[in-house]
Amino acid sequence: MKNFNRRDFLKLGTASIVGSGLLNFPRMTYAQEALGDYKALVCVFMHGGNDGFNLIVPTDNDSYAEYAQSRQNLAVAQNSLLPINPLTTDGRAFGLHPSAAPLQSLFADGNMAIMGNVGHLKQPTTRDMILNKTATLPTELFSHNNQQDQWKTVNLDNNLLSGWGGRIANTYADKQAEPLLTGISMNSRSPWLRHPENLDLAISADGFDEYWYVSKGVGYENKRRTAYLETIYKNYNNAFRKQIADTQKRTLELVESVGGILKATPQLTTVFPEDNGYGLASQLKTVANMIAARDALGMSRQIFFVEMGGFDTHDDQNRDQPLLFSTLSQSLKAFYDALVEVGASSEVTTFTASEFGRTLSSNGDGTDHAWGNHQLVIGDAVRGGDIYGAMPSLAIGGVDDYKSRGRIIPTSSVEQYVQSMLSWYGLTPSQIQTVLPNHAAFDLSKINLMI
């Protein structure tokens, strides 16, 4: 331990505020550089693999017939689909799942765009390349853990120790009043925000709660416990133990200061929906509260990770999917409305992600792991009301099928999906290339989702 210094200690892990709000790393002091504005990216990750091909469905007769033939007992009734009118068209018409009415209004108002058929790719890939074995494919396709990690790192060789969200946060951390508030994950730490040179936070949906029974100046017992902790903080001579003590002291200070700011921030009047056991609405409400306090916290750039599970619909898909889509769409709409309320709807871009899509073919009661998937991008800075990327054929065994089960090959890469959001956020072309290490394999100018 003689040569174990503070930097080495910091590299052991990242900050974490979970449950009662415990932050496990000390404050790092940087020279703040004013950026002159505020921007935030919010990633909504649908764990399990969302069936995007039932969220956005072709509605013209020929395309719907192809869809229905592939989906069989999982097909959504044509007359129940909610029509949308994209600004551009490839000749097909599309609609949203009947449980996603809030998304229909966001799209119609120009506040939401659809990114069609995006997924992990090492290079632009076609069915012929796969059948001829000339395609270089991502490793461990159709595996939850591997595909989640690959999505969160956009590093298909698994040799980077950071996520692309963490690489973004690292670019801006030294320009913040409080660097630790730059990258925040809800409920648990995410590889998406990981970075060896910087710290990310994980907080619960309850936000920055005070320490139980040690709130300063609240009651005799609390005062005793606070005084005892402060005595402990001062009595460590060993460098490693002192670092831990300083960490806990910083924890108390940050929880108290941020918690106090959030309490002093006017409460949102926007009504968020029930979580229905998924936790998405409460997470997004906490993020909205943090964004409402952006000026008081002195933040100019932030990046948030929220998550929703339940999308691994191997069975009971027809029963579970309506509630999944209803919860997702109501929560996203409430979050957008809350951002309008606090004057941040043009400063925050929300986008969805999921490790992969589902098979078009039914396994009898649900779907299995597949590849390409549709995603959503929401905010006033989005070129909304349109569909981006190439929408695929939904024929099993067709030109966009991986082999024979309706595992649709992505027509756009994750890099192409996110690059215009990174540019809007303020990253330079060279910084974007650092964030997206496989950028050279794709035409990043092909898709521009942002104003």
Q: What is the pLDDT of residues 135-164, one digit of tens each?
A: 999 999 999 999 999 999 997 665 678 999
pLDDT of residue 24: 36
Arithmetic mean of pLDDT, 67-94: 98
Average pLDDT over residues 377-393: 98
Q: How far apart are CA 448 and CA 451, in angstroms?
A: 8
Q: What is the pLDDT of residue 175?
A: 87
Residue 154: burial class (beta carbons within 10 Å; 0-12, 13-18, 19+): buried
Arithmetic mean of pLDDT, 26-52: 76
Contacts 24+ apart (CB under 8 A), 127-130: 127/399, 127/400, 127/401, 127/402, 127/409, 130/402, 130/403, 130/409
Whether 416 and 118 have beta carbons less than 8 Å apart is answered as: yes
CA geometry: angle at 346 spanning 115 and 379, to 5°? 25
Phi first, then psi, for residue 125 (nearest 5°) are -135, 140
Token pair for 56: 């956005």
Model pLDDT, residue 18: 37
Crossing angle of the two packed helices 101-108 and 317-341, in degrees rounded to 10: 40
- Compute the mean pLDDT over every residue in the chain, rounded to the nearest whole number: 88
Q: What is residue 1's three-state secondary structure?
A: coil
**Gap between the Cα atoms of 120 and 123, Å rounded:** 9
**Which one is predicted more confidently, 63 or 221?**
63
> What pLDDT was estimated at residue 16?
39
pLDDT reading at 195 higher than 50: yes
Handedness of CA 200, 202, 207, 209 (dihedral sign): negative
| Torsion sign (Cα): 354, 355, 357, 363 | negative
Work out the average pLDDT over 284-311: 97
Runs of H (alpha helix) within 56-197: 61-71, 101-108, 127-131, 144-153, 164-172
- Please give the average per-residue pLDDT across 401-410, as a whole number: 96
Tokens of 316: 């009971």
CA distance 37 to 158: 35
- Pick the range with the lowest mean pLDDT from 80-89, 142-151, 247-256: 247-256
Q: What is the model's pLDDT at position 398? A: 98
Q: Which residue has the higher pLDDT, 188 or 375?
A: 375
pTM score over 0.85: yes
Q: What three-state secondary structure class fits 393?
A: coil
Q: How far apart are CA 243 and CA 249, in angstroms?
A: 10
Residue percentage of the chain with pLDDT more than 90: 73
